[in-house]
Amino acid sequence: MKLLVVGSGGREHALAWTLAQSPRVQKVFVAPGNGGTATEPGLENVPLAAIPTLVAFAKRENVYLTVVGPEAPLAAGIVDQFRAAGLRVFGPTRAAAQLESSKDFAKRFMVRHSIPTARHATFTSASEARAYVEREGAPIVVKADGLAAGKGVVVAATVEEARAAIDSMLLGQRLGEAGARVVIEECLVGEEASFIVLCDGAHALPLATSQDHKRLLDGDLGPNTGGMGAYSPAPVITPEIHARVMREVIQPTLQGMAKDGIPYSGFLYAGLMIDANGNAKTLEFNCRLGDPETQPILVRLKSDLLGVLDHALAGTLDRAATEWDRRTSIGVVLAAHGYPEEPRKGDPIAGLPAANPDCRVFHAGTRIEAGRLVTHGGRVLCVTALGDSLRVARSRAYEAIAQIRFDGMQYRKDIGHRGLKRH
C-alpha cells in the first residue's frame, strides 16, 4: 500500500522513514519533502502543498493513509477536507487543532476542565494588558494567541520587557493576526519535558518521553529556536510522574474535548513544566509531533507504526501497545548560517555518514540542486543516534557530526545536559 506524509522537515523525514519500514508499505510519498526524503529508499517526494491538490493526489494514487506533520495545514483544516473526500487521514480537525492554533482557546479549555496550567488572562487592549502586568509584576510570560512558528512567546524578566512585548504584538502588529490577542501568564519554574500521545477521540496511547532544547546556544542561552536537539526518554518523567500526567493532563484533555463536542484524534503534544515536587503543569499543547523530538523518539519505536495508526483510525487505541528500544536516543540539530533570524540557503553539504543501526541523519532544510545536496532552511539536519546510555548516544551523534561540513554550520554541543546531570 501507499502512504502520504505531509510536510518537509526532519519530523516528516523520520515519520516517512519509520512508516516505510512497515512490511505492508510499498511506498511513502512525502509532500513536498526535502533533500533527504528525495533519496531515501521507499520514499518519493511530490511537489505539492495546497490542500486541494493533496486531496486529488491521494485519490489518484489510491493512498491508504495520510499523516500530517506540521501544524499549519492542520489549523487550515486539511483533516476536514481529506475526510470530506472520503480519505483516511491521521490528525486533528481544524476545530480540534485550536488546542495549538489558539493559546486563548487552550487556556480556557484547561481552566474549564481543571487541567493544571499557569494562571492567565487574555487581552486585545494594550492598555489593559499593561495594567495587568503592572499589577502582577515580573517575571511574566507574554504569548501571541495564534501560530507564530516559535516566535510568539516572550518570557519577560522585567515589567518593561513585558510591556515592550505587549506593544509590539498588540500595537506594532509584529506577528499580524496571530498577535492580535495576547495571553499573559504566570512564569512557572521547573524542568520542561515533551509528552506526546496518539489519540483516537476517546483513548490515548503515549509515545516515549523526550526533552527538547529551545535556545540556540549552549547552556540554554541565546534566542529561542524551533528546537536545537532532543533526547528520549526524559528521565525527569519518572514512572510516577508519567502516571500523574496521564491522569491529570492527558485523560481530562481527551474527555474534555469529547464533552465539548470536538473529539481529538491525532498526535497530541503536551509541553510540561515539572516542579521540584513532581507536579506537572501544561505550558502548551501542540496538535502534532514535535520537531526535533520525533527523530529520537521514532528511532526507538520497535512496533509497527502503521499498525498503531490503524488502531487510532478505528478508535481502538485501547487495544494497541508500543514497544520501545530500551536504549537512549539523541538528536542533534545542525542549523544554517544566520539561523534563526535569517538562515542562508544554498551552502553545499558534505561528509554525511551512511546510516547504520546506531546512527542516522534525518534531513530538514536540505534540497538537491543540480545534483548537489545544499542547505535550504534554518534547521538543516538532525543527527540521531542510539546508545546504552545518554552519554554513549551523545558521543555517537557528535562523532558523526565531526564528519559533516557546510559553511556556517551551527549546533549545540551540550544536547542532553539535563539528562546527564540526573545520572
Ligand X SMILES: Nc1ncnc2c1ncn2[C@@H]1O[C@H](COP(=O)(O)OP(=O)(O)OP(=O)(O)O)[C@@H](O)[C@H]1O
- Which residues in this chain contact ligand X in the complex, by CB under 6 A? 118, 141, 143, 150, 152-153, 155, 185-188, 192, 214, 271, 283-284, 286
What lies within 8 Å, CB to CB, of 371 at 6+ separation is none
Smallest distance from ligand X to CB 212, Å = 7
Shortest Cβ 116–ligand X spacing (Å): 12
Which option in ligand X, Mg ion, none does residue 150 bind, with CB closer than 5 to 8 A by kind? ligand X
Which option in Mg ion, ligand X, none does residue 117 bind, with CB closer than 5 to 8 A by kind?
A: none
To the nearest whole angstrom, how small is the minimum distance from the Cβ of residue 141 to ligand X? 4
Among 286, 294, 384, 410, binds Mg ion (CB under 5 A): 286
Please tell me whether residue 328 binds Mg ion under the rule CB under 5 A.
no
Identity at 3, one-letter amino acid code: L
Rounded (10°) angle between helices 10-20 and 305-314 = 100
Question: Which of 348, 391, 351 shows the shortest CA–CA distance to 372?
Answer: 348
Minimum distance of Mg ion from residue 100's CB (angstroms): 6
The β-bridge partners of 369 are 372
* Residue closer to ligand X, measured from CB, 192 or 260: 192
Report if residue 212 touches Mg ion, rule: CB under 5 A: no
Ranges within 131-150 binding Mg ion (CB under 5 A): none
| DSSP code string of 63-102 | -SEEEE-SHHHHHTTHHHHHHHTT--EES--TTTTHHHH-
The sheet with strand 211-212 has its strands ordered as: 211-212, 229-232, 328-335, 379-387, 359-363
Q: In a 10 Å sphere around its CB, with 0-12 CB exposed, 13-18 middle and 19+ buried, how is residue 64 labelled?
A: middle
187 binds, among ligand X, Mg ion, none (CB under 5 to 8 A by kind): ligand X
Nearer to Mg ion, 75 or 140 (CB): 75
Interface residue with Mg ion, options 104, 200, 248, 284 (CB under 5 A): 284
The residue (of 285 and 411) whose beta carbon lies closer to ligand X is: 285
Instruction: Verify cis geometry, omega within 30 degrees of 0, for the bond prior to 292.
Output: yes
Cell numbers for 364: 530538514
Q: Interface residues with Mg ion (CB under 5 A)? A: 284, 286
